[in-house]
Amino acid sequence: MWTQQKSFAPHDTGTLYLVPTPIGNLADMTFRAVETLRSVDLIAAEDTRNTQKLLNHFEIATKQISFHEHNTQARIPELLAKLQAGASIAQVSDAGMPSISDPGKELVAAAVTAGIPVVPLPGANAATTALIASGLAPQPFMFYGFLPRKASEQRAALEALADQEQTILFYESPYRLAKTLTAMAEAFGPERQAVLARELTKKFEEFDRGSLAELATWAAENARGEFVVMVAPAAPQAPVRSTVPLADQVAARVATGEKPTAAIKAVAKANGLKKQDVYNAYHGLEEEDRDL
């Protein structure tokens, strides 16, 4: 069903604001984030005691309600009722962007379904902050977040990611970092380059760059603080040339009903050749395709 949200048009309900909070440096709180937390009727916080420290620092007197992974389902109807009655609510997590490896997505989905405007504020986020200083290709990139903890599930997840030709971003706790890097070295190869961004925005911020094998060894002794793990893209796979003549490969596809242009394109891609070369072979415009 097609729907449209005009975030700042007048509406009968309240608004759900998604407010990022600092990931270690209070100065990263934006003016708009402070203003929003001051002006809403209620703040739904992952940990109200943690958020109270932030509110005290910025002299914000707004009331809080707890909203975390263990009370999400129970809280959603209560928060939706308040929003429908016209109250505005800001959702915050302990650090960074709500919903990014943090509580929030179910509330957002419920608000969207109920036709309540959901307004995101830009702000601190560990993954993208790490990425822009990593020196790795910033796009395309994939944000994975936390890997499964169970070894067999983690291995399967990593194997499924091994051929991704994009930078992959993970979150990991310092207690599991060395083990996870070792598992990555097994799945991606020990020489795959990676970057660890440690304690971003804090006094001991650092970037550790090297192969997965080197970083796993380093992490076994030095994993303290918070980390973003960034893995360089897989090298593109060299296409394997088939021994079947190109014209026959195209003909086989055409025989299954594929259009010749599509078949030529597919065969060119599969063999790492230009379309024109396959076209010529298929239409007999060259003596033989053996030199291709």
Give residue for tokens 């003016």: 31
Q: What is the footprint of ligand SAM within residues 227-256 (CB under 6 A)?
A: 227-228
At closest approach, how far in Å is the CB of 173 from ligand SAM?
5
At closest approach, how far in Å is the CB of 172 from ligand SAM?
6
At closest approach, how far in Å is the CB of 205 from ligand SAM?
7
What secondary structure letter does DSSP report for 138?
-
Contacts of 266 (CB under 8 A, 6+ apart): 253, 258
At closest approach, how far in Å is the CB of 129 from ligand SAM?
8
In this chain, which of 47, 106, 186, 199 binds ligand SAM, going by CB under 6 A? 199
Helices marked H in the chain = 31-39, 48-57, 72-84, 105-113, 126-134, 151-161, 177-188, 212-222, 246-255, 260-271, 275-282
Q: What is the footprint of ligand SAM within residues 160-189 (CB under 6 A)?
A: 171-173
Site mask for ligand SAM (CB under 6 A), range 86-105, x = bound: -------x-xxx--xxx---
Q: Is 273 left (phi over 0), alpha (psi -120 to 50) or beta?
A: beta
Site mask for ligand SAM (CB under 6 A), range 110-139, x = bound: ---------------xxx------------
Q: What angle do CA 120, 124, 107 make, to 5 degrees?
A: 40
At closest approach, how far in Å is the CB of 105 from ligand SAM?
12
- Three-class SS state of 172: strand
Q: Give the distance from CA 115 to its chain's centroid.
A: 26
Residue with smallest beta-carbon separation from ligand SAM: 96
**Residue closer to ligand SAM, measured from CB, 100 or 292:** 100
Here the tokens at position 7 are 């975030």
Residues that bind ligand SAM (CB under 6 A): 23-24, 93, 95-97, 100-102, 125-127, 171-173, 197, 199-202, 226-228
